[in-house]
Amino acid sequence: MVLYASILRLEIDAMFQTIENILQVALAGVLIGVLYGLMCVGLGLIFGVMRIINFAQGEFLMLGMYATLFVGVALGGQYAGAWTPFVSALLVIPLIFVFGMLLYQLSLDRLSLRRELGEESRHSAQLVITLGISLILSNGGLMLFGTTPKSTPTEFASSAITFGPLVRDNILLFINKARLIAAALALAVTVAVVLLMNRTKLGRSVRAAADDVDAAAYCGIDVRKIYMVTFGLGAAITAASGGLTARL
């Protein structure tokens, strides 16, 4: 009888262990998923509005990571406090926003003038141009930053919040503080983008341009400017998600 009870006990323990593992993994998945989601917001903006498949998306991510690193160093590195990497990831947004707009102005915008090409050849050309941008950024990154992995250390990375035990003394969940902060910030940025798109005049213009370029232009929207802003915004958001992902 006692033996049965202890075997049962063991099985229940094992079950709780499994549940704990599943919950732990799910939680980690949600936290990283929020960051990936932010990255997709950047991609979705550019593709959804401009219908350009942006091959340089990964490079924007990389740029965001390095920009976060350098801004962090400029702020005083980890001596400036555990929040430095997060603050610098957010500071990267205006930086890459301007960079993205410049990049758009110098390259893709030139094609939007050439209406005689027809949409199809214009899109093909734009596609090759983003491939070119991707090659330049990734190889330029290789030249400038080298191949050694860098990190943006923060004390939060080594501390965790614990939840539980949830059922008697079983199911104890750990949440890494750095991940939690990163996910919270990513969520905040996502919400800010949603508000920007739904509540502001700029957002309405962007959505109008996404729906129908010509109709938007007839309504007095400067579509080329909207495209420039969208491209900058998409790049900046992607970069921010890169910066927030970097320490994970």
Residues of this chain that interact with other proteins (CB under 8 A) are 47, 51, 53, 55, 107, 110-111, 114, 117, 120-122, 124-125, 127-129, 131-136, 138-143
- How far apart are alpha carbons 240 and 94 in whole angstroms? 10
Closest approach, Cβ 30 to other proteins, in A, equals 25
The answer for residues whose C-beta is within 8 angstroms of residue 223's C-beta and 6 or more apart is 209, 213, 216, 217
Task: Give 133 or 221: the residue with its C-beta nearer to other proteins.
Answer: 133
Nearer to other proteins, 122 or 179 (CB): 122
**Closest CB to other proteins among 57 and 154?**
57
Q: What Rg value do the Cα atoms of the chain yield, rounded?
A: 23
**Residue with smaller CB distance to other proteins, 94 or 132:** 132
For other proteins, give the closer residue by CB, 76 or 140.
140
CA-CA distance, 51 to 30, in Å (whole number)?
29
Instruction: Find out whether 173 and 187 touch, Cβ atoms under 8 Å.
Output: no
The CA distance from 85 to 159, in Å, is 15
Q: Which residues contact 167 (CB under 8 A, 6 or more apart)?
A: 16
Q: How far is the CB of 141 from other proteins (least distance, A)?
A: 8
Give the residue among 22, 23, 61 at the shortest CA–CA distance from 40: 61
Q: How far is the CB of 204 from other proteins (least distance, A)?
A: 24
Closest contact distance (angstroms) between CB of 47 and other proteins is: 8
Contact in structure between 243 and 66 (CB atoms under 8 Å): no
CB of 125 to other proteins, least distance (A): 4
